[in-house]
Amino acid sequence: VTNTTPTRRQQLRLDTTAEIKRVALELLASGGPDAIALRAIAREMRMTAGALYSYYATRDDLITALTGDMYTSLVDKTEAARDAHPAEAPAARLLAWGEAFREWAVDNPAGFRLVYGDPVHGYRVPEGGAAPEAASRACAGLTGLVAAAWPLKDQAAEEDYDWDDFDPGLAALVQAKFPDLPPAAVALALRVWGRMHGLVALEAYGHLRSQTKDPARLYRAELRDLARSLGLRDR
Amino acid sequence: VTNTTPTRRQQLRLDTTAEIKRVALELLASGGPDAIALRAIAREMRMTAGALYSYYATRDDLITALTGDMYTSLVDKTEAARDAHPAEAPAARLLAWGEAFREWAVDNPAGFRLVYGDPVHGYRVPEGGAAPEAASRACAGLTGLVAAAWPLKDQAAEEDYDWDDFDPGLAALVQAKFPDLPPAAVALALRVWGRMHGLVALEAYGHLRSQTKDPARLYRAELRDLARSLGLRDR
DNA sequence: TGTACATCAGTGAACGCGCGTTCACTGATGTAC
DNA sequence: TGTACATCAGTGAACGCGCGTTCACTGATGTAC
């Protein structure tokens, strides 16, 4: 009853669970968050809608699982891109993270909306958020990028902040991972997050494509400006 | 048959149209974009759903009208805030515009989602966009802010752009209003847009409130940084 | 090896919901003589 | 001033849709003797 290979039945169960998610993600990609409907998934899988209830107790449970998967795949990608550059090149790490963020969003606009946008119609997000682990990885990642820049930065431009100004969980996370970092750096990390989010959200929601032919170029310029304003300049 | 005062019947018609919109906006504010449903509006007004069809041919027409109203009210607010400062204080004008943008979004998060976020379930946006006039006013406003900064800015940091890199309508608009401005300034204006959009979108979608107690302060710092990076420093 | 039984994935029908939209109609408001 | 008529805002019932969810069931898969 320990960690053996799954029985045939367990394996089929896992396969079906994976297929449900896969189909749900296809619907998400082709029709947006609202297209994720149990009946639609069942139809696509040539199953009865009721049968899905032995895999997920509720539609919202499925959506929570999908949100987690999506968020995780996003953070996996940004972390991998960042880690392709050594710690000695903090600017490259920041740019890589930011570029990966945008690329993921452009590849998965519906996923981006699922994670950062309007909740699915009628969906109630569970307490603690839909994907707490991925969210805190993203948070730690951003803070790490800022932490690498912090000693290089012109501190005079930053205001004073207190740990109380932030969510206790966030404060604890940062203090544990970056003991030397002052609270003002957290404020800066949130601003960096916002700065990356802006153009990417506009593009994911289709507001940018109608204005410029090359959103990637715009975004790259913005990232470089961001790195510069953080005092980062590799080599 | 020219521009006389409306007859009693015309007046009632106008009043009812206004009430439909008002109720729709209440539903929008309390339940998000998806809560805008003809049946819900009719219920709220103690009317039959069918009766609404003599005011709007279709649900989508109503939503288009609402989006236009919302977008217009947003631009009205940002323009008014900007114009409270003289042309000689371009930084103050930029900050005022940006602050007004955020304030409107915080006051009307559902409206913000309607304008910039996911379309309402099943809504097909009309060609040319749901609110072309408001959109081009917003565009002109942002470009104007950048135009005021352009001569002061460190141009070396900017890349080369061509008018062809942008939507023809956008290019024409800018060339008409700001004949001296190069295309690179348009790219900068779009980046400024993105930068304002980032933190505000995060806040409107509830991602920031859970992280910091004072999103306004964060945003103010970001705006000041933005003004500085544009070379704006009043007085 | 063969038979009886247990498990359990999936069926099919149903419930109740809210939605957008249509349409023949009623009845009050306003107009013409 | 009074009557006949036209306008037209709103009614109420219906249509068809897709949704989430429940539940008694079937029938194949796997297990025990």
Residue A127 has pLDDT above 60, yes or no: yes
Within 7 Å: CB of A103 and strand D? Answer: no
pLDDT at res. B115: 97
Distances in Å between the alpha carbon of A37 and those of A48, A60, A101, A221, B194? 13, 10, 27, 39, 32
- Specify the pLDDT at position A2: 46
pLDDT band for position A92 (50/70/90)?
A: very high
Is the confidence at residue B1, as pLDDT, over 50?
no
> What pLDDT is attached to residue A234?
77
- Residues in CB range of A132: below 8 A, 6 or more apart: none
For residue B147, give every residue at least 6 positions away whose Cβ sits within 8 Å of its Cβ, in sequence order, or none. B178, B181, B185
Bases of chain D below 7 A from a protein C-beta are 8-14, 18-24, 29-31
A contact test, residue of B190, B192, B229 with most A CBs within 10 A: B190
Q: Which of A12-16, A124-128, B210-214 has the lowest mean pLDDT?
A: A124-128
State yes or no: pLDDT of B131 exceeds 50: yes
Question: Taking the CA of residue B1 as centre, how many other CA atoms within 13 Å lie in the half-sphere pointing to its CB?
Answer: 0
Task: Please report the pLDDT score of residue A9 as a whole number.
Answer: 85
Tokens of B229: 């990076």
pLDDT tens figures, B165-204: 999 999 999 999 999 999 999 999 999 999 999 999 999 9
Give the closest of A118, A193, A212 to B32, CB-based.
Answer: A118
Q: Which nucleotides of strand C lie within 7 A of protein CB?
A: 8-14, 18-24, 29-31
Asked if the Cβ of residue A213 lies within 7 A of any atom of strand D, the reply is: no
Contact B32 A199 (CB under 8 A): no
| DSSP H or E run through B19 | helix B8-31
Distance CA A106, CA A113 (A): 11
Ramachandran sector of residue A231 (left: φ over 0; alpha: ψ -120 to 50; beta: rest): left
Q: Is the pLDDT of residue A21 over 80?
A: yes
The answer to whether A46 touches A67, Cβ cutoff 8 Å, is no
% residues pLDDT > 90 (chain B): 87
Residue A235 has pLDDT above 70, yes or no: no
Q: What angle do CA B199, B203, B208 make, to 5 degrees?
A: 90
pLDDT classification of A55: cutoffs 50, 70, 90: very high
Note the pTM of the prediction, 2 decimals: 0.95
Q: Give the residue among B66, B64, B57 at the shortest CA–CA distance from B126.
A: B64
Residues of B with a Cβ under 8 Å from any A Cβ are 32-34, 113, 116-118, 121-122, 129, 157, 159, 164-167, 170, 187, 190-191, 193-199, 201-202, 205, 207-208, 210-214, 217-219, 221-222, 225, 229
Contact A211 B167 (CB under 8 A): yes
Average pLDDT, chain A: 94
Q: Which residues fall within 8 angstroms of residue A94, CB to CB, at 6 or more apart? A: A82, A145, A148, A149, A223, A226, A227, A230, A232
Across the strands, what pairs with A166?
B212
- Give the pLDDT mean for B214-223: 98
Give which of A124, A159, A207, A224 to mutate to test B binding, by max B Cβ within 10 Å.
Answer: A207
Question: How would residue B85 be classed by pLDDT, with cut points 50, 70 and 90?
Answer: very high
